[in-house]
Amino acid sequence: MATGTKPFPTMHPVAGFKLGTTSAGIKTVGRKDLVVMALAPDSTVAAVFTQNAFCAAPVLVSRQHLSTHTPRYLLINTGNANAGTGEQGLLDAQRSCDSLAELQGVSAQQVLPFSTGVIGEPMPMQTLLTALPAAVEALDENAWVDAAEGILTTDTRAKGASLQYRPNAASAELITITGISKGSGMIKPNMATMLGFVATDAEIDAELLHHALQRVVNKSFNRITVDSDTSTNDSLVLVATGASGITIDECNFEQFVTQLEQVFIELAQAIIRDGEGATKFVAVEVDGALDSAEALKVAYTVAESPLVKTALAASDANWGRILAAVGRAGVENLDVSRVSVSLNQVLIVEAGGRAASYTEAAGEQAMAAEDISIHISLNRGTVEETVWTTDLTYEYVRINAEYRT
């Protein structure tokens, strides 16, 4: 179950970035579940990872490797998270790096491992390692679609975004930005997404690339929530291969960030549209806040309220649940008489109470839509923020109740 009908986009290849996908049978025989990504030697890399204290073994290994070496390969498996696996999990994550490094003639510290799937299960290492040569053999700059499918778990569809732009209107040269992500449940990234890999052929130094990543992740993946659960495995990697020969510096940095943000938002929203059991794509927009923290506090409280989310699932215009969530969000000295709320541009609350113009029929019509905007004005400042979320359905409960079976 997913919302929207937008087809998988055309994926522009990124020079200097190859992807290879195979079926190892880690959880399901015949399913694509192992992906290798190869980076050009002079690439720069930036990454963000989960803030969950019980982070997975591959997250710990990736952080360590990235702190000392420039990556040449990324190794991703689905079907097993290698989280909650203790010392053996760390040994397994390192062993996977060792094996790929030996195959490709690089240092093991130049391999970053990533895993997603069931937490607490030992990694079937022999199954993974046996399939590595096939993934390497499949490496190709045009293999984004296979890779997008190969990183999925409970997702119902692959998620990708790609664009090209001219950094100089007088030139025919193009910069390419292409990426894939996965995620459907256990989504409140808090610094990253479940798994995301974005590459560009621009040339940019590591410090500036990391700054760009922080900028765009805070307007994309850090603004989504399905169920308020931050995964143990969240990882997001941004690679700049430099193969285009076009340098990003202070002069064209803002233009690059704008284009990068577009790709990131598309990937982040694709996760919400494919949220487990989702029948609604919901934007919770808060304006008139004193600062960003206040706006996000309100937005997330509404977006994560089980009562609001179940009303959305039922297309029930039970707007009192929205007011209750705003009221408990912890906004200091909130003047409720100044709060207004609209649902898909239907004014339902003004001056802290039911709007005089509101009718139940108008509210029901607004709630019946697949894409819904909940707009909340606090009218106490000038800051605005948006969080994207889903409804909460019976199907979400079924998927997670039966996840291991």
- Which residues are tagged catalytic? 193
Q: Give the integer Cα–Cα distance in Å for 187 and 284.
A: 16
Q: Is 361 exposed, middle or buried (0-12, 13-18, 19+ CB in 10 A)?
A: exposed
Give which of 320, 263, 326 is closest to 300, Cα–Cα.
326
Write out the DSSP string of 180-197: EEE-SSS---SSS-SEEE
Give yes or no for a contact between 160 and 190, defined as CB atoms under 8 angstroms apart: no
Cα dist from 22 to 102, 116, 161, whole Å: 19, 16, 22
Where does 18-171 have alpha helices with state H? 57-68, 86-104, 125-137, 144-150
CA 229 to the chain's CA centroid: 13
Euclidean distance between the first and final Cα of the chain, in Å? Answer: 19
Q: Give the integer Cα–Cα distance in Å for 275 and 389.
A: 8
DSSP state of 247: B
Q: Give the integer Cα–Cα distance in Å for 326 and 132.
A: 50
Q: Give the integer Cα–Cα distance in Å for 244 and 204.
A: 11
Buried b (16+ CB within 10 A) or exposed e, 177-213: bbbbbbbbbbbbbbbbbbbbbbbbbbbbeeebbbebb
- Order the strands of the 371-377 sheet from edge to edge: 224-225, 383-390, 281-289, 371-377, 340-343, 346-350, 353-354
Give yes or no for a contact between 260 and 178, defined as CB atoms under 8 angstroms apart: no
Size of the chain, expressed as the number of residues it contains: 405
Q: Is 378 exposed, middle or buried (0-12, 13-18, 19+ CB in 10 A)?
A: buried
Tokens 């889903």 sit on residue: 390
Give yes or no for a contact between 378 and 339, defined as CB atoms under 8 angstroms apart: yes
